[in-house]
Chains A and B, each alone.
Chain A
Amino acid sequence: MFLTVTLTLLEGFLQTIKLFVLTLLFSLPLGLIISFGSMSKVQAIKVPVRFVIWVIRGTPLMLQLLVIYYGPGIIFNANVWGSGDGGRFVAALVAFVINYSCYFSEIYRGGIQSIPVGQYEAGQVLGMTKHQIFFKVVLLQVIKRIVPPISNEIITLVKDTSLARVIAVYEIIWEGQSFIKSAGIIWPLFYTGVFYLLFSGLLTLLFGRIERKLSYFR
């Protein structure tokens, strides 16, 4: 029984990890673009971007999942997400990407704005372009500063993926819960915690390593 449960949970955890990895893949760069928008000097860009960030950060992720999955069907009377498991997964992914890129964008903004103006000015008087100043001077300093808050957010994401079960994405909690109905046992649900713990432990080690790598400068 233990083996069957473990294998089933592993299958669910594979979905969890897939959602996790794809969310990061899209939301980390998208967050940077959103952060530029929220720092824009053009009000017509800045105001709507900040409005979206406010809405996304101000409502529960679970609600966003439901709105994004069911919303298009209600408004356009069409299933934009495709049918079956695949469609529900894509909808969940879109909701996670939007939610996390907004959070990441605020971390990026904090990081970018914390770089002293003297760094930009030094680059300018040395004849560097804006582009060069950002990529050669500022970026690594920003990365160093945002690694701790980003790690925090990423570890939260590992566990937030479990919310995807509200639109029936078969991630690990869903699988764990299914044993209550099918076999009348609850321990598989509790057992899922071990998978989360091991995975976030691995991530913690990874982030620690990145922080140490960047500790050569201050």
Chain B
Amino acid sequence: MAILEVRNLKKSFEDTEVIHDISFTMDEGETVTIIGSSGSGKTTLLRCLNFLETPDSGVIKVKDDILFDSDVPESMSEEAIRRKRLHFGLVFQSFNLFPQYTALENITLAPSLLAKEDTSIDASSIEENAKELLEKMGLSDRMGNYPHELSGGQQQRVAIARALALHPDILCFDEPTSALDPELTGEVLRVIKELAKQHTTMIIVTHEMSFAHDVSDKIIFMDKGVIAEEGTPEEVIDNPGNERTIQFLANYKNGK
């Protein structure tokens, strides 16, 4: 069963159409990677899924639950959107940890606030759960550190734990290693690969082609706001059929 269904999504900024009619589905436990050159609309697509941008038209469904439908304006009230966001988690390129909180507090803040309004959440397990997540990220010895005391790679791993703590149905990554020094990307990619092995449902926007090749069940190549090609890594990266995909991958290899 498809966990996510996106149908005819469109988004313009002023007069520029950034996303031009995008439709795709993904299954639970899958890792989907979105590749493409800058300005192709990858990040905007992720931001639409997380309701940081409001699509102009289209439908977003998670587990057959309609999260967004441009024909149903009631679905766009602020409170409704806040709840729906929780289906998705988002890891940012620039981490965006909260500087005044320790690594552990960064993870527990949002769940604690949610527990206050929803008594069905067990508040006592929040810290335990956060500690487990940090351990999974290899950061048990960094729990009490503030973000500025951590390396970029460590900060990004805290950010991943923070997103996971809310148990999103789908975890999104927006170029998670683009702001990192090359020697720090490995530790973050390893963590994401580990999550893929455990069948965490993920959508990853990345420029790391070999990583995308290894980790993905499906790759989507975006170009000028449309899905130009999609398929398994073998199909899209090893044997691209679309002229624009071939061009992009060739440029990519030359750049290396």
Contact = CB atoms under 8 A, between A and B. Distances in A.
A125 B89 contact: yes
B88 interface: yes
Nearest to B102: A217
B148 A218 contact: yes
A125 B146 contact: no
A119 B98 contact: yes
Nearest to B50: A125
Given A126-B110, A136-B109, A218-B99, A118 B83 contact: no
Interface in B129-163: 146-148, 162-163
Contact of A122 (B78, B98, B113): B98
Interface string A87-129: 0000000000000000000000000000010110111111111
A137 interface: yes
B92 interface: yes
A140 interface: yes
B90 A125 contact: yes
B98 A127 contact: no
Contact of B146 (A132, A137, A216): A216
Contact of A140 (B100, B110, B163): B100
Interface string A126-143: 111110100011001100
Given A125-B89, A128-B110, A217 B147 contact: yes
Nearest to B94: A118
B86 interface: yes
A174 to B, nearest CB: 45
Interface string B160-188: 00110010000000000000000000000
B2 interface: no
A127 B83 contact: yes
Nearest to B52: A121
B25 interface: no
Nearest to B92: A118
A128 B147 CA distance: 20
A124 B85 contact: yes
A2 B109 CA distance: 59
A24 B117 CA distance: 35
Contacts of B113: 127-128, 132, 136
Contacts of A116: 94, 96
A141 B82 contact: no
Contacts of B96: 116, 118-119, 121-122
Nearest to A118: B96
A130 to B, nearest CB: 8
A127 B94 contact: no
B80 interface: no
Given A118-B92, A216-B100, 16 more contacts: A116-B96, A119-B96, A119-B98, A121-B96, A122-B97, A124-B51, A124-B85, A125-B88, A126-B110, A126-B162, A127-B86, A127-B113, A129-B82, A144-B100, A217-B146, A218-B99
Interface of B: 50-52, 78, 82-83, 85-86, 88-90, 92, 94, 96-101, 109-110, 113-114, 146-148, 162-163, 166
Interface of A: 116, 118-119, 121-130, 132, 136-137, 140-141, 144, 216-218
